Chains A and B, each alone.
Chain A
Amino acid sequence: MSREIHKRIEGRSPAFLALIAGLGILVLLGMGSAWTMEHNGHVITGMSNRIVWGMPHVFAVFLIVAASGALNVASISSVFGRTAYKPLSRLSVVLAIALLVGGLSVLVLDLGRPDRLIVAMTTYNFRSIFAWNIYLYVGFIAIAGVYLWLMMERSLNRFSKPAGMVAFIWRLALTTGTGSIFGFLVARQAYDAAVMAPLFIAMSFAFGLAIFILVIMFTSGGTGRELGEAMVRRLKNLLGIFVGAVLYFTIVQHLTNIYAAEHHAVERFILLDGGIYTTLFWVGQIIIGGALPLVLLFTPLFADSREAIALAALSVIAGGMAQLYVIIIGGQAFPLVLFPGKIVSSSFADGSIASYSPSLPEIGLGIGGVALALVIVAMAVKILALLPRTLADAETDPT
């Protein structure tokens, strides 16, 4: 493996230019959405004083969670010594950085005062998990950048393993921080649970790997690089395990709540009679995001078919978006309990289920963030030698 194993893509084909142009248009759409929201105020969105975080946060949290998961392929190689994954490490790190930048862009552009980002970067309240997250996010980008450099600079390769270890620990902290944004909300019936942190870590493994599988399949296909069966099977099995882990933590999350009488109402809302949230939970999160991928990945019927694996990865992403919609928006739609056991009403919709319909600018902003992440990856594989020349089985280390 001493010869050059990575190579830039040429990036001059009409298809590549069309891809960049298409993604660029979506990024512009996102920027236009953000400008419209900031100019008119959030009144033009579906968000309100009851649903204070909406569709932008679903996209942003998805991207941020997926970012830390996308780093896993590199971690498996550096930290756990699985050299078969080593050729994919560079792409893994770049995808992680790109997804995080995309997610943070959405989060920042949804702020009421995005022009005050400098305030958020210079004034900290260290009791706030949000403030910790600013450090965790910026630190992640810095550490991942150094990790990438150490992997790419041959004379410094020996330092890439400790850097990978730091990046792996950091990403666990980052996802713990993201989950704890919700876990620390003591007053909300749907949150306030320590299980949010490990749940989010499991989600990050699944979402990040699903995106990674699609990116490696797309880039291999688009650049004529061979992608061996053994590598695909490894990634497939790993994705299945991660999907199972998400289902496990989801069961723990809801079973714990169901056991406590004070949480019966919110569990009833999410699991039984919450309308769109119940549908998204069972059909989106559990069936599309959990059961369907497991069937596609592990049923002999599909016999490691690449189409089935790609479809499974897409299902995990769709299910993941549904899961975050249920957690973020469903969790807010359920009313705060001001007077336990009483019927409460007011002009501020106390005691009632809040309504929410995502608006076009919110969706546009979210899609813009996804497109930004993808355009960063597309440009990166053109500028830097990130993609392995080949992932043919004969060329990869079997360990």
Chain B
Amino acid sequence: MSCGNSCNSNTTSRRGFLTSMAASAAGATAGLTLAPGVTLFSPAQARARGKGEAASSKVRWGMLVDANKCDDGCTACVDACADENGWQGEGNPATDAQWIRKVKVTDPGTGKSQSLPMMCQHCEEPPCVDVCPTGASMKRADGIVLVDKHSCIGCRYCMMACPYQARSFVHEPVSGQRTHAPRGKGTVESCTFCVHRVDEGQQPACVEACGGTKRGALTFGDLNDSESEISKKIATYPTQAIRSDLGLKPGVRYLGLDT
């Protein structure tokens, strides 16, 4: 596990500290500057979003997938996502929702295989948002790409436009919905980065589950914060976006891809 409990407790204390700071200096949340260029912490990285508070573009949520640590047989992230968001299959593989899936990539020359999770890449320039006729497909200010279930008409143009096949159409009546992840027959859905958890200052379910397996292949955090763990890793190791040629600037990056 890359972060562990120390990270979580750190997060909590930061949050508590911030709350008291916010009471005394509302709006001054960009960080506590001790001296020019020296910032004690960056609160946007892990703070919970207050009720009624708009998502901020100061934050850019992202995920780093370390393909070296991802095992072929492991589906902990997929299982955790399905459980967290209530999209367990109905026994129809072609039509069942898959917010996240494990993809096996094999080099035809060497025969070497890699396994990695594929989900909504939360693009900075999301084609799904561009093509959506009603604006139901949207990108929050903090970079999380979502579907507004109230204005999705189920045209599926976003599914045609997504290069990652990351979206699912709800093909049949749903049961076992989670209150924090409403679903509806006839609408389109995809990975939300567990926005309900992120807004509470928690990590997405897949990241937590991957950490629980001790693999720690997934890192989630604020790409705008140079001090965040994800930013440090991206600054240190060579990472890449899938289909970077399309210029979509995905929020999900991959490390250790054999491509």
Residues of A within 8 A of B (CB): 38, 40-43, 47-50, 52-53, 111-114, 116-117, 119-120, 123-125, 127-131, 133-134, 181, 184-188, 332, 336-339, 341-350, 355
- In the complex, A349→B118 CA distance in Å? 12
Residue B133 lies at the interface, judged by CB distance under 8 Å to chain A: yes
Q: In the complex, how many angstroms separate the beta carbon of A339 from the nearest chain B beta carbon?
A: 5
Residues in A whose Cβ lies below 8 Å from that of B2: none
Q: Which of B28-36, B57-65, B161-169, B194-202 contacts A (4 or more CB under 8 A)?
A: B161-169
Residue B160 lies at the interface, judged by CB distance under 8 Å to chain A: yes
Nearest residue, chain B, Cβ from A347: B101
Chain B interface size range: 35 or more
Q: In the complex, how many angstroms separate the beta carbon of A202 from the nearest chain B beta carbon?
A: 23
Contact A113 B187 (CB under 8 A): yes
Q: In the complex, how many angstroms separate the beta carbon of A325 from the nearest chain B beta carbon?
A: 16
B98-143 CB contacts (< 8 Å) to partner A: 98, 101-108, 118, 127, 129-135
Q: In the complex, how many angstroms separate the beta carbon of B71 from the nearest chain A beta carbon?
A: 15
Contact A345 B104 (CB under 8 A): yes
- In the complex, A47→B168 CA distance in Å? 12
Residues in A whose Cβ lies below 8 Å from that of B167: 49
Contact B156 A112 (CB under 8 A): yes
- In the complex, A185→B157 CA distance in Å? 9
Partner of B171, one of A42, A113, A116, A134: A42
Partner of B160, one of A134, A185, A337, A350: A185
- In the complex, A370→B161 CA distance in Å? 28
Contact A188 B154 (CB under 8 A): no
Contact A338 B161 (CB under 8 A): no
Q: Name 10 extra pairs, CB < 8 A, besides A42-B95, A127-B129.
A: A116-B154, A119-B134, A119-B153, A125-B135, A130-B155, A338-B118, A338-B164, A346-B102, A346-B118, A347-B101
Residues in A whose Cβ lies below 8 Å from that of B104: 344-346
Q: Contacts A113-B186, A120-B153, A350-B118 hold; do A342 and B259 have CB atoms under 8 A apart?
A: yes
12 contacts between A and B (CB under 8 A): A49-B169, A53-B160, A112-B169, A113-B153, A113-B186, A120-B155, A125-B129, A130-B132, A187-B246, A337-B243, A338-B242, A355-B94
Residues in B whose Cβ lies below 8 Å from that of A336: 163-165
Residues in B whose Cβ lies below 8 Å from that of A41: 170-173, 185-186
Nearest residue, chain A, Cβ from B92: A43
Residues in B whose Cβ lies below 8 Å from that of A129: 131
Q: Contacts A112-B152, A184-B131, A339-B242 hold; do A347 and B93 have CB atoms under 8 A apart?
A: yes
- In the complex, A38→B156 CA distance in Å? 15
- In the complex, A187→B95 CA distance in Å? 21
Nearest residue, chain B, Cβ from A339: B105
